[in-house]
C-alpha cells in the first residue's frame, strides 16, 4: 500500500470537523434536561455548527428510550424531554469531509446501561491500529456490554466516513463476527457501540423525518422541483431533515420525490422489545501506531 499523508488537506478538514463537533456535542448535551425542547436543542446545535465554521453532516438525531437512530424533530415539534434516556447523535462536515459522534444523556436513572456503551467504546479504541480486524473490535464491544448484563445492538454498526458519504466501508460490528475487514492507516471510521436491556435488535418504525438524495430526475411539480434544487445544491448526498427545506409544503414535496425514487427516507429505528438503548460514538483516523480520536473533548 502506498504511504498515506495524514497531514494532507483531507485529514486536516476531518480534524477540523471533529473539533467543531466535540464542542457542539458537549454544549448540546448540557442543554438536555427535563422540560427542555427537542427542537430547540437540535436547531441550536445545527446553528452552532455553522457558527464554528462547519455544516451539519446530517440532522441532529435525538433518540428517546427505545429509539436507536434516525429520530429528529419535526417542523414545529413541541416535544420536551422527560425522565428518559436521550441519545444525541450529531455530525459535522467541512467541505464534505466528515466527523460523527454520539452521547447518551441519561435522565431515566439507568446509569449502568449508559456506562456499558461508554466503556465498550473505550475498549474498542484501545484495540485500533493498522492490521486489526474489525471483528476483533466487535468482540471487545460485545464482551464489555455482556459484562454489564446487557446486549449489544447487533444489527447496527460503526462505519467508514467518505467524502460527502456518511456511511462507507468498513463496517465496525458491535459483536464478534468471523468475516471482517482489516483496518489500514488513513481509514476514517466512526465506532459506535449500542447497548440495550432488550434482545439486541432494532427494526424500522413508521416515523420518517430524515431523507437523502438517490438520484436527480425530472420533476413536474413546482414545489417538489424547488425542494430538489435545494437538496442538490445544499445537501448533495448527505441526509437532511424535512424541516430544513425552504418550500411551502415540504412534506408533500418529499412525498412526490419519494414516489419518483429521487429521495429515500430513514425510518426511526426502535429496539424490538421496546427496551432502552444507549449509545456512544467517536470518529477516528487510523494512524501508524494506533488511532487519533477527532471528536474527543478538548
**pLDDT of 30 higher than 90:** yes
Q: Name the binding residues for substrate.
A: 70, 167
97 & 199 share domain:
yes
Does the pLDDT of residue 268 top 70, yes or no? yes
Residue 53 backbone class (left: φ over 0; alpha: ψ -120 to 50; beta: rest):
left
| Residue 152 domain flag | yes
* Selection from 82, 83, 81 nearest residue 108 by Cα: 83
Q: Pick from 157, 68, 156, 150: which is nearest to 115 by CA?
A: 150
Mean pLDDT of 46-73: 98
Our answer to whether residue 67 is catalytic in this structure is: no
Q: What is the pLDDT of residue 295?
A: 98
Single out the catalytic residue among 16, 19, 89, 118: 89
Residue 47 dihedral angles phi and psi, to the nearest 5°: -70, -35
State the cell numbers at 138: 466487535
DSSP for the chain, please give it.
-PPP-TTSHHHHHHHHHHHHHHHHHHHHHHH--TT-BHHHHHHHHHHHHHHTT-EEEEEEEEEETTEEE---PPTT---B--SSEEEEEEEEEETTEEEEEEEEEE-SS-HHHHHHHHHHHHHHHHH-STT-BHHHHHHHHHHHHHHTT-EE-TT--EEEEETTEEEEEEEE-SS--SS--B--TT-EEEE--EEESS-S-EEEEEEEEEEEE-------SHHHHHHHHHIIIIITTS-EEGGG--SS-HHHHHHHHHHTTSEEEEEEEEETTS--EEE-BEEEEEETTEEEETTS--
For residue 1, the model assigns a pLDDT of 45
Print the domain residue range for 166.
9-204+274-293
In a domain, residue 4? The reply is: no
Check whether residue 181 and residue 218 sit in a common domain. Answer: no
The neighbour count for residue 147, using CB atoms within 10 Å, is 12
Pairing outcome for strands 277-279 and 290-293: unpaired
In a domain, 14, yes or no: yes
In a domain, 1, yes or no: no
- Name the binding residues for a divalent metal cation: 89, 100, 159, 192, 281
Residue 65 lies in a domain: yes
Predicted local confidence at residue 179, as pLDDT: 86
Least confident of 2-11, 24-33, 169-178: 2-11
107 and 25 assigned to the same domain: yes
Is 281 assigned a catalytic role? yes
Find out whether 170 and 187 touch, Cβ atoms under 8 Å: yes
* Catalytic, out of 110, 209, 281, 282: 281
**Among this protein's residues, is 100 annotated catalytic?**
yes
Lowest mean pLDDT among 29-33, 169-173, 177-181: 177-181
Same domain, 223 and 133: no
Q: Residue 114: its pLDDT value, please? A: 98
Binding site, annotated residues: 70, 89, 100, 159, 167, 192, 281
- Residue 206, classified by CB atoms within 10 Å of its CB into exposed (0-12), middle (13-18) or buried (19+), is exposed
Asked, for residue 2, whether it belongs to a domain, the answer is: no
Give dist(CA 51, CA 149) in Å, integer: 42
- 3 part of a folded domain: no
Question: Do 48 and 179 belong together in one domain?
Answer: yes
Segment 61-66 shows an average pLDDT of 98
C-alpha grid cell, residue 247: 418550500
| Residues 113, 16 within the same domain | yes
pLDDT of 2 reads 54
Is 110 a known active-site residue? no
Task: Write down the catalytic residue from 167, 208, 221, 264.
Answer: 167
User: Catalytic one among 118, 159, 187, 282?
Assistant: 159
**Catalytic option among 65, 100, 187, 209:** 100
Q: Which domain CATH number covers 128?
A: 3.90.230.10
- Give the pLDDT score at 285: 98
Residue 199 sits in the same domain as residue 230: no
pLDDT at 100: 98
What is the average pLDDT across 112-141? 98
pTM of the model: 0.96
Sheet holding 67-69: strands in order across? Answer: 67-69, 263-271, 202-213, 240-241
The tally of domains found in the chain comes to 2
Q: Quick one: 78 and 143 in the same domain?
A: yes
Residues 286 and 217 in one domain: no
In a domain, 148, yes or no: yes
Output the domain CATH number for residue 234: 1.10.10.10
Confidence of residue 278 (pLDDT cuts 50, 70, 90): very high
What does the pLDDT average to over 71-80?
97
Both 55 and 156 in one domain: the answer is: yes
Condensed to tens digits (0 to 9), the pLDDT of residues 7-20 reads: 999 999 999 999 99
Could you tell me if 158 and 255 lie in one domain? no
Identify whether residues 160 and 249 lie together within a single domain.
Answer: no
Are the C-beta atoms of 83 and 106 separated by less than 8 Å? no
Amino acid at each position: 500500500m502506498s504511504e498515506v499523508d495524514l497531514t494532507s488537506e483531507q485529514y486536516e478538514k476531518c480534524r477540523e470537523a471533529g473539533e467543531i463537533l466535540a464542542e457542539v456535542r458537549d454544549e448540546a448535551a448540557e442543554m438536555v434536561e427535563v422540560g427542555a425542547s427537542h427542537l430547540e436543542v437540535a436547531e441550536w446545535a445545527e446553528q452552532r455548527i455553522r457558527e464554528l465554521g462547519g455544516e451539519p453532516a446530517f440532522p441532529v438525531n435525538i433518540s428517546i428510550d427505545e429509539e436507536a437512530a434516525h429520530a429528529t424533530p419535526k417542523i414545529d415539534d413541541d416535544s420536551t424531554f422527560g425522565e428518559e434516556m436521550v441519545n444525541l447523535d450529531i455530525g459535522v462536515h467541512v467541505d464534505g469531509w466528515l466527523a460523527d459522534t454520539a452521547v447518551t444523556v441519561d435522565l431515566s436513572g439507568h446509569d449502568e446501561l449508559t456506562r456499558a456503551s461508554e466503556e465498550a467504546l473505550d475498549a474498542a479504541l484501545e484495540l485500533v491500529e493498522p492490521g486489526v480486524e474489525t471483528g476483533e473490535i466487535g468482540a471487545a464491544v460485545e464482551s464489555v456490554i455482556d459484562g454489564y448484563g446487557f446486549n449489544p445492538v447487533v444489527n447496527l454498526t460503526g462505519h467508514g466516513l467518505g467524502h460527502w458519504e456518511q456511511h462507507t466501508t468498513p463496517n465496525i460490528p458491535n459483536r464478534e463476527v468471523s468475516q471482517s475487514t482489516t483496518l489500514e492507516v488513513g481509514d476514517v471510521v466512526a465506532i459506535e457501540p449500542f447497548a440495550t436491556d432488550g434482545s439486541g435488535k432494532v427494526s424500522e418504525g413508521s416515523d420518517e423525518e430524515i431523507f437523502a438524495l438517490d438520484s436527480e430526475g425530472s420533476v413536474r411539480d413546482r414545489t417538489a422541483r424547488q425542494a430538489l434544487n435545494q437538496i442538490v445544491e445544499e445537501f448533495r448526498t448527505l441526509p437532511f431533515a424535512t424541516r430544513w427545506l425552504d418550500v411551502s409544503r415540504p412534506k408533500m414535496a418529499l412525498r412526490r420525490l419519494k414516489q419518483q425514487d429521487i429521495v429515500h427516507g430513514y425510518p426511526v429505528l426502535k429496539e424490538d422489545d421496546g427496551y432502552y438503548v444507549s449509545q456512544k460514538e467517536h470518529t477516528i483516523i487510523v494512524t501508524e501506531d494506533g488511532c487519533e480520536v477527532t471528536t474527543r473533548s478538548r
